[in-house]
């Protein structure tokens, strides 16, 4: 039996187009230089509280950044109606893991409310025992807080737990929490950087989770 801790974006679901569209639209609405698709994708997995200031060519006050976050969340809410899709084979794999008696959780850089909304949208609203969003931790990925809080809340054993993600931040987070790591190569935007973290498992399809 394992405890599987999943990232959301580009691991469980393909949200790349939604994130890019919403980010670019938010910067446009606020009259800022619009970040490139490549820039937005490179920061996926990092909370907007960290990435947005870095993507702005202008120097923004705290108030301006808060305003940008609000506009982004509004735009994301609109864009997600069109473009979040579950990766092929993911639904079947999750159902098999649950039937097998494994425990499933989500650890994401998203806030908990949109995270739960997105899970329900793709039919996974009741699949996970708990979720950990960026609003529930003191320190974001790659800090281990999100994983450690779940291990503590549910009395989980670290050596039976695996962090599954598509980005180096997920692998670093797993390492920092003392759990195994699994690279979700089906969603990785930068495969080399993920492999450089020496994940315990390198998976090319969701079905390979069943071999862990």
Q: How buried is residue 13: exposed, middle or buried, by Cβ count under 10 Å (0-12/13-18/19+)?
A: buried
pLDDT in tens, 159-179: 999 999 999 999 999 999 999
The per-residue pLDDT for range 28-51, each reduced to its tens digit, is 999 999 999 999 988 988 899 999
- Compute the distance between CA of residue 177 and CA of residue 163 in angstroms, rounded to an integer: 9
User: What is the Cα–Cα distance from 118 to 13, expressed in whole angstroms?
Assistant: 9
pLDDT value for 59: 95
* pLDDT value, residue 71: 98
What stretches in the chain show pLDDT beneath 50?
none
Looking at residue 82, what is its pLDDT? 75
Query: Which pLDDT belongs to residue 201?
Result: 98
What local confidence, expressed as pLDDT, does residue 102 receive? 98
pLDDT given for residue 44 in this prediction: 85
Prediction pTM value: 0.84
Q: Which CB contacts under 8 angstroms, 24+ apart, belong to 196-204?
A: 196/168, 197/168, 197/171, 197/172, 198/171, 199/171, 199/174, 200/162, 201/162, 203/164
Query: What residue ranges define each of the domains in the chain, with the CATH number in brackets?
Result: 3-14+85-211 (3.40.50.1000), 16-83 (1.10.150)
- pLDDT given at position 132: 96
pLDDT of 45: 82
Q: What is the pLDDT of residue 178?
A: 98
First and final CA of the chain: distance in angstroms? 10
**pLDDT for res 185:** 98
What integer pLDDT is reported at residue 80 of this predicted model?
83
Q: pLDDT at position 60, please?
A: 96
């Amino acid at each position: 039996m394992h405890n599987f801790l999943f990232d959301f974006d580009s691991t469980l679901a393909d949200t790349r187009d939604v994130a890019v569209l919403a980010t670019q639209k938010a910067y446009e609405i606020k009259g800022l230089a619009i970040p490139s698709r490549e820039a937005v994708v490179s920061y996926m997995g990092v909370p907007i509280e960290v990435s947005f200031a870095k993507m702005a060519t202008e120097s923004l006050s705290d108030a301006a950044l808060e305003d940008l976050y609000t506009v982004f969340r509004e735009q994301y809410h609109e864009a997600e109606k069109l473009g979040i899709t579950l990766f092929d084979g993911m639904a079947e794999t999750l159902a098999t893991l649950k039937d097998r008696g494994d425990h499933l959780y989500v650890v994401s850089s998203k806030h908990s409310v949109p995270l739960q909304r997105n899970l329900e949208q793709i039919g996974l609203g009741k699949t996970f025992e708990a979720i950990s969003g960026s609003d529930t931790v003191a320190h974001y990925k790659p800090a281990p807080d999100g994983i450690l809080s779940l291990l503590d809340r549910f009395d989980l054993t670290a050596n039976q737990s695996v962090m599954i993600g598509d980005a180096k931040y997920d692998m670093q987070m797993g390492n920092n929490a003392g759990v195994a790591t699994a690279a979700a190569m089906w969603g990785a935007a930068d495969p080399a950087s993920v492999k450089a973290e020496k994940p315990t498992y390198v998976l090319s399809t969701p079905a390979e989770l069943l071999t862990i």
